[in-house]
Structure formats: C-alpha cells, structure tokens
Structure 1
Amino acid sequence: MLTTILAAAGAAAPGANPYGLGPALREGGLISQTVFGILVLMSIVSFYILFSKLFEQQKIMGQAKRVRENFWQSNSLREGSAKLEKNSAYKQIVDDGLAAQEQHGKLTDPVEAHDWLHGSLSRSEAAINSKLAGGLAFLATVGSTSPFIGLFGTVIGIYRALIKIGSAGQASIDAVAGPVGEALIMTALGLVVAVPAVLSYNWLQARNKSIARDLSAFSTDVLGFLASGGSVRPTAPGKPGLTKPVAATTTAGQTGGVPTSRA
C-alpha cells in the first residue's frame, strides 16, 4: 500500500516540487518509509483513543447530571439504582455498596460495618477510574517517543547527505538538498504526531480527575446513607448533608441501613 502511494507521488506532473514528502520518502528508501508508517500509525491510534475516551467521559458526565437530578429523590438505594442506566458507573457503585452490605452480615469474623463498606466502595471507584485511564498510557508513550522516531529519520537523512557529499567530493546543493529535506520532514512529522498526543493526554487526564472527584463524592453519600439507615443523604444536588430521617427499615433490601457498632 505504501509503495503504491509513493509510486503515485513519484508520477507527479512536470514542474512539481522535487523535495516534497513523496520524493523524500521515495529517495529515503525502506528506513524512511518505515519511520513514516510508524508515525502515521501512532497518529491514527492516538486520535482514536482521544475520541473514544471523550465519548466515554461525556457519557459518565451525563450520568452524573441525571444522578444529581433524580437519584436522591428515591426512598431507597435499590429504588434509585433502578432509575439508573444498566451500565452506569454510578449504578455500579450503588450495587456494589448494597452487595457489600449483604456480605457484611455473612462474615464470621467481626468487622466494622463502616470499614467494610468503605473498602468495597473504594474498590468500585478504583475499577471505574482504571477503565477511564485505559489507553492514556499509549498517548503518553506517543508523546514522548514520536519525536525520537522522527529524529531517527532525521539522522538517516543527514547520513545520506554526508555520503553524497563524500561521493561527489564537494558539498553541492543538488547533492544534499534531497537528503537534508528528507531529514527536516522526518523531524516535523515526529513533532506533528507528538504535540496532539501530549495535549490529548493532559486534557483527558484533567477530565478524568474531575470525574473521579464526582464519583468519590457520590460514593461518600452512598456510604453515609448505608451507615445511617437512610437518615443521611444530600440536601441538594451534589451537596451532602443531613435531612429529616426518611421512613426506612434496616433491612438489606430496603434502604440499606446497617449497624455501626462492632459485631
């Protein structure tokens, strides 16, 4: 495929730029073409990760908005969980909290209910954050290595220029213009691939931290609700506080209340 592209580039009309990308790759041979192919592949994968992660983050941000609007109006966690999307990150936290509450009653070794629930909710948060961070390591790798890959093509181009100078016995413009142009193009390609990857990595990381803060706040609210038998819940969207105790039982299937004393 790459050979076909280069052949088409080589068949340019008379008067076309003899030092463009196509001629440079054709003259550079297999090494330059391989470097170019690697950089193009890195760029494609980087943009795929960028757009897929943006979609994933936007989905969770939309879930957070719906949770703030509707979730805490429910009488119990199970009722609120039923209102959430099937694959919602927030539903996962609620379901994991309810499951931990049920498991606590089956423990034979006394464990503080608060510690058990807190640990279970923390694991749930960590799993979600780990999934959100997937692919970001590749962006960081591209941002740090692609300039050096381009630099490798640059070194090869300079080396070829020196060989032509040595063969010709003099440093004529005609002898070195092609290899030097190839070297500069490879340097530019490395930077073109690296800069978007670094910007994407930093932007996605900042958004992930914002999502992690929202998940942590929601997890704390769920823990307070479970540990108080439903008496503690956010008083307003996103603002935890005390409200009047709701009519609730301490049955695991209802509000999720648990005793806070040691077994």
Structure 2
Amino acid sequence: MDFSQLFSQADAIGRAVALLLLLMSVASWVVILWKAWLLRRAGGDVDRSTVAFWQAPSLAEAQQRVAAFDREKLVLPLIEATQAQAPGSLAAAGDRSQQLTRMLRDALHAVLDKLQFGQVLLATVGSTAPFVGLLGTVWGIYHALTGIAAAGTISIDKVAGPVGESLIMTAAGLAVAIPAVLGYNIFGRLIGRIEADLEGFALDLRELVAHHAGGA
C-alpha cells in the first residue's frame, strides 16, 4: 500500500494532518533554502564591506565603497545611522556619543531582524511537527482499534491500513521536524557570527564618528 492509497482511505482528520505536515515541510524548506542563500551572501558582504570601509580615505568615500559591496544592506544602514539628525527632538538630546550609541543600536536591531527572519518558523516547525505526526499516529491506531471492535475478530485487512497510516504519520512528522531543527541551529550559529562582526563594526564606527565630531 502506497501513500496515495493511504491518503485516499484516510478520513478528514487524517487528511488534515497529512496536509498540515506537507505545508509545514514546504514552508520550512522555502525558509531553509532562502536563508542559506541570504546568509552566504551576507557573510561575504559584511567582510568585504568592513574591509572596504577601513581602507577608504574618508567617511564619504567609505560610504560609497560599502554601497558597492553591501548587497543585503547590512553595513550601510549603520553608516547612514551616524549621519541621521533630528534637531529639536529628544533623539538629539545628550552629547554626540550618546546620540551615536542610540542611533547605531536602533539600526543594528533593524539589521538583525532581517537576518533572523524565518527563525521563528523553523523553531515552530521543529518543535510541533513531531506532535502533529503523533496526532496522526494516535488517530490511525484509534481507527485500527475501532475496526477490530466492529469486526469482532483481529484480521490483517482491518488493521493494516490504519496502522500503516499511523506509522507513516510518525515518520512524516520526524521528516518535517529534523531539517527545520538542523536549519535553525546552523543558521543561528551563522547569524551569531555575523551579529558579532556587525556589533564590533558598530562600536568602532561610533568611536570614529565621535572622535571626528569632537575634533570638528
């Protein structure tokens, strides 16, 4: 008995569980493939952008050089944040060093939100897919038991379909959860590495701009 036969013989709840697992799998794989592409580009962009920045002779030239390398717009928002001005508002209160800290922190949070997008979905799929599969397993066993009770005797034809359905649901739940968990953990480490590079760059950038402002 193949999967299509099991699906056609399942009731509404069994089909709903199977469709839910399919949707979870498709969504997690879309996120996994997209984030693998994004983080691969992002890691290289951050390295090249920071090198180009520190090799530039001036802040204006550095911004132009970074714009050529920063395809995912991860470093450029930090540089632009140091140039933001809001005269007459609380954002402009305090000395220049405090303003820079506040603006760079906000810009860094926005950049990290972009990198972390999709992590919640992977974590959710990884933690819930086994239980969704377990629901299908329990429902399949329930069908097997009701089939035996209705027949009054134990026969292969009464239990094979429901038991086979339950075993497939268990395997499907694990097949959906494992890639999501692996993707979440791997991407979490990559994001942490990029985050450390961006935080270090933001700290150095704040000191540089504050020094320029103090010397102006």
Q: Same fold (TM over 0.5)?
A: yes
Provide closer, same or farther for how the CA distance between residues 188 and 110 of structure 1 changes in structure 2, counting only shifts above 3 A. closer
Are 2:14 and 2:136, in contact at CA under 8 Å, matched by a contact in 1? yes
Are 2:93 and 2:99, in contact at CA under 8 Å, matched by a contact in 1? no
The two structures have a TM-score, normalised by structure 1, of 0.75
Are 1:113 and 1:259, in contact at CA under 8 Å, matched by a contact in 2? no
Deviation at 1:70, TM superposition (A): 2.0
**RMSD over aligned Cα atoms:** 2.0
Render the CA deviation track for 1:99-139: whole Å, top value 9, x for unaligned: 2xx447x6687512211111111111111001111111111
Match of 2:107 among 112, 124, 132: 124
Residue aligning to 2:49: 67
Match of 1:219 among 193, 202, 205: 202
Residue aligning to 2:16: 34
Are 1:149 and 1:190, in contact at CA under 8 Å, matched by a contact in 2? yes
Residue aligning to 2:166: 183
Are 1:148 and 1:190, in contact at CA under 8 Å, matched by a contact in 2? yes
Provide closer, same or farther for how the CA distance between residues 107 and 193 of structure 1 changes in structure 2, counting only shifts above 3 A. closer
Deviation at 1:216, TM superposition (A): 0.4
Are 1:133 and 1:208, in contact at CA under 8 Å, matched by a contact in 2? yes
Structure 2 counterpart of 1:46, which letter?
A: S
Render the CA deviation track for 1:34-79: whole Å, top value 9, x for unaligned: 2111111111110111111122222221222212432112122221
Are 1:71 and 1:83, in contact at CA under 8 Å, matched by a contact in 2? yes
Render the CA deviation track for 1:163-199: whole Å, top value 9, x for unaligned: 1101111122222111111111111101100111111
2:7 pairs with 1:51: no
Q: Distance in 2 between matches of 1:76 and 1:210?
A: 27
Q: Which runs of 4+ in 1 moved over 4 A?
A: 106-110
Residue aligning to 1:78: 60
For residue 212 of structure 1, give the secondary structure of its aligned residue in structure 2.
helix
Aligned residues: 212
Residue aligning to 1:90: 75
Point out the structure with max Rg over C-alpha: 1
Structure 1 counterpart of 2:14, which letter?
A: S
The two structures have a TM-score, normalised by structure 2, of 0.90
Which stretches in structure 1 are left out of the alignment for 5+ residues? 1-18, 230-256
Are 1:143 and 1:193, in contact at CA under 8 Å, matched by a contact in 2? yes
Deviation at 1:259, TM superposition (A): 5.9
Structure 2 counterpart of 1:29, which letter?
A: D
Moved more, 155-164 or 167-176: 167-176
Q: Distance in 1 between matches of 2:214 and 2:109?
A: 23
Q: Distance in 2 between matches of 1:156 and 1:214?
A: 49
Structure 1 counterpart of 2:187, which letter?
A: L
Render the CA deviation track for 1:130-155: whole Å, top value 9, x for unaligned: 11111111111111111111111111
Q: Distance in 2 between matches of 1:217 and 1:121?
A: 11
Residue aligning to 1:197: 180
Structure 2 counterpart of 1:220, which letter?
A: L
Provide closer, same or farther for how the CA distance between residues 216 and 169 of structure 1 changes in structure 2, counting only shifts above 3 A. same
Higher helix share: 2
Are 2:134 and 2:169, in contact at CA under 8 Å, matched by a contact in 1? yes
Provide closer, same or farther for how the CA distance between residues 107 and 194 of structure 1 changes in structure 2, counting only shifts above 3 A. closer
Moved more, 155-164 or 169-178: 169-178
